Amino acid sequence: MTADLAEALYARDSRNRSGWSEVTLTDTAKWLSGGTPKTSEPSYWGGDIPWISAASLKSPWIDDSDRKVTRLGAENGTRLIPKGSIVFVVRGMSLTSEFRIGLTQREVAFGQDCKALLPAPGIAPETLFLALKSMTPEILGLVDAAGHGTGRLATDRISKVRVRLPEGPTAANFSYAVVPLIEQACAMRRENRTLAELRDTLLPQLVTGKIRVKVAERLVEDAT
């Protein structure tokens, strides 16, 4: 709900003429491409750095992934991006119906089916994320077919998309309003993930009688 409120604030405020301007997306950030370390090399995988792919990018708040690379893997075949980067899918079956986009909450690596944007100085990551997300219908209209049901979003097409961004004091005021909402949404997602992991761990033990209900309740309280 907090994320929805942030999007609603952007939709409302960006309609204002005063303090807002329209810019081409290519001028808002540094654009980066990702890659995949050699999967047959075990020293590249199983580390603690989330590796984001078209398949794993399912949440707008990126801080984890089902696949992780080591520091060595990150240096061989992929690319690291810092917290506050924007990642979106440019090739995949999901593009035929949805535009997957996320804002990194920590350092991550990412695959070749995604692009990353590092916002230019003076542009808040949260604001650029909301601006790009608001253009979802137009962006999906730029997707073409790459074969076998796979959608493709060409860089030369999406880079020409124009977004509305605040300037000067308006930019600072807007960030002040939306950043806490996004931080709260991220915290709620982490808590939900922790609770889901606890459920999967504790439920079998409760069923088999290995732990008592009161113990399970205390573990949940400690985790949240």
Chain segment 160-193, per-residue pLDDT in tens: 999 999 999 999 999 999 999 999 988 887 776 6
Structural domain contains residue 185: no
The predicted structure's pLDDT at residue 130: 98
What one-character DSSP code corresponds to residue 148? T
Is residue 102 within 8 A of residue 132, CB to CB? The reply is no
177 occurs within a structural domain: no
pLDDT for position 200: 61
Please give the residue range of the domain that contains residue 38: 21-166
Task: Look at the alpha carbons of 73, 79, 81, 87 in this order and tell me if their dihedral is positive or negative.
Answer: negative
> Does a structural domain hold residue 147?
yes
Domain count, the chain: 1
- pLDDT value at position 3? 82
Please tell me the distance from the alpha carbon of residue 87 to that of residue 128, in angstroms, as a whole number: 11
The answer to whether residue 7 is domain-embedded is no
What residues have CB less than 8 Å from 194, skipping those under 6 apart?
223, 224
Q: 41 in a domain, yes or no?
A: yes
Is 174 a domain residue? Answer: no
Structure confidence at residue 172 (pLDDT): 96
What is the reported pLDDT for 216? 45
Residue at 51 is within a domain: yes
Is 2 contained in some domain? Answer: no
Edge-to-edge order in the sheet of strand 68-69: 68-69, 45-52, 108-110, 79-81
Query: Which secondary-structure segment (H or E) carries 10?
Result: helix 2-13
Question: At 51, which CATH number?
Answer: 3.90.220.20
Average pLDDT by stretches of 10, the chain with 224 residues? 89 94 97 97 97 94 95 96 98 94 97 98 97 97 88 96 96 96 86 63 60 53 54
Give dist(CA 33, CA 92) in Å, integer. 15
Is 36 within 8 Å of 77 (Cβ atoms)? yes
